[in-house]
Amino acid sequence: MPTTAFSTYFARELDVEQLSWLLHGNPAPDRDRTALDLSQWAEWIRNDIRCSSCGKSGAQVVRPSKVRGGQALLRQAHFRFVDQQGGDAHHPFCEFSGKDDRAVGQPDTLLNFGSEKSAETRAVRVLVCKGIESGIFDQATIRAMRQWFFDLKSASRFTVEVSPEMLAWAHSLRRHPSYRRWTFHPAQAEMPAFDWAAAAKFRFTEENLELIEFAQNVRHHESDWKRSELLAAKHFGQEVFNVLALQRYYEDTLALCAFVAKNSGLTFGKTDPDHYRFVGAPVPFLALCALVLFASGWEMNVAIGKFAALLAAKEPTDLALGNVIGLNPFHDYAAWRLVMHASEVAAKSARGIDYQGQLASIESKLRQEHADWRSRETTF
């Protein structure tokens, strides 16, 4: 269940306590943190508050619960979305759909721009504050962006049918040393320390070069492979978002990240901006660049102009403006792209998907070729 939701009236993301302060006419953040009674506004909340992920209404406030006789929270205050029949009001593809009160929190696709857990987050927070004060974007823009991405995700789905073996096969092809080419001849095996395993890999390259090149077209960090295995296993047989619908927007966002990082005079992390296309950009920075591109109609030069205005703007007068929940629309993009790519690779693999098995078979054939050759040579 979500701890924050979007208020259409207040045009911002709010948690239950913040909503309480505003409805009771006291928005001061240093107020007692105890959630106030919102029962008199129940119908208003039901119609006004929207799910941050799917945009559905039907919100109810669930008050926090504490340990009997103590102050420790058993459950923090949050929102539950219920339809007219008392069922789950979320869209079936919403990240909160079907989750009960025990699953309280925010999905990994959402991030708090106000968090100061890292230097890049602090830098992004200042830019977010500048953007809001300058009118370049606001919380309504962030909400509209979430809805746009959610609608895009809902319209493009696929069923996960990728096995661990398919992923292992694609990973093996990705790591296969195809840059060296060598043609085997039985005479080579007369060398006293001939490397049969290497010879088998050379022959494998010749037999599968087109497939290997296809498998190596998609480059990702090693950690993405591990994540793809977890996602494929967790969602096997389920319908999920087809990340290929995001490819253009992801590549444009990374390009903007790299341009801004190299030309802004600011530091957004230790990663070389030229490597963003391989390992990704820092998540808060990626989310900000996606927001600016969205606010620019996905026009690159318009977005660069907005960033120039952001950087030239005076320091924000209210850093609290950065306490907003942003969207990382590309969460797990790389891992899901690998899942889909593994499926494509497997479909093109006419000889099967057992990498070690194929190498062993090739080595056996090479040894037989050598034995046959020696037999012919000794005959003469």
Report, as ranges of residue numbers, the positions in the chain whose pLDDT lies below 70: 1, 26-36, 65-75, 98-120, 319-326, 379-380
pLDDT of 288 reads 92
Structure tokens at 339: 């899942």
Q: Which amino acid would we find at residue 30?
A: D
pLDDT of 64 reads 75
pLDDT of 72 reads 56
| Beta carbons of 91 and 146 less than 8 angstroms apart | no
State pLDDT tens for residues 109-130.
Answer: 666 666 556 666 778 888 888 9
C-alpha dist (Å) from residue 9 to 13, 14, 22, 95, 274: 11, 11, 11, 24, 42
User: How far apart (Å, rounded) are the C-alpha atoms in residues 365 and 371?
Assistant: 10
Residue with tokens 């900000």: 288
pTM: 0.76
Handedness of CA 270, 139, 306, 317 (dihedral sign): negative
The DSSP line for 246-271 is GHHHHHHHHHHHHHHHHHSS----SS
C-alpha dist (Å) from residue 13 to 132, 141, 357: 14, 11, 54
pLDDT of 221 reads 80
pLDDT of 34 reads 47
Tell the burial category of 297 from Cβ atoms under 10 Å away from its Cβ (0-12, 13-18, 19+). Answer: exposed
pLDDT of 379 reads 59
pLDDT of 99 reads 57
Q: Between helices 283-295 and 300-312, what is the axis angle to 10°?
A: 110
pLDDT of 102 reads 46
| Beta carbons of 52 and 109 less than 8 angstroms apart | no
CB atoms within 10 A of CB 60: 16
pLDDT of 347 reads 96
User: How far apart (Å, rounded) are the C-alpha atoms in residues 200 and 206?
Assistant: 10
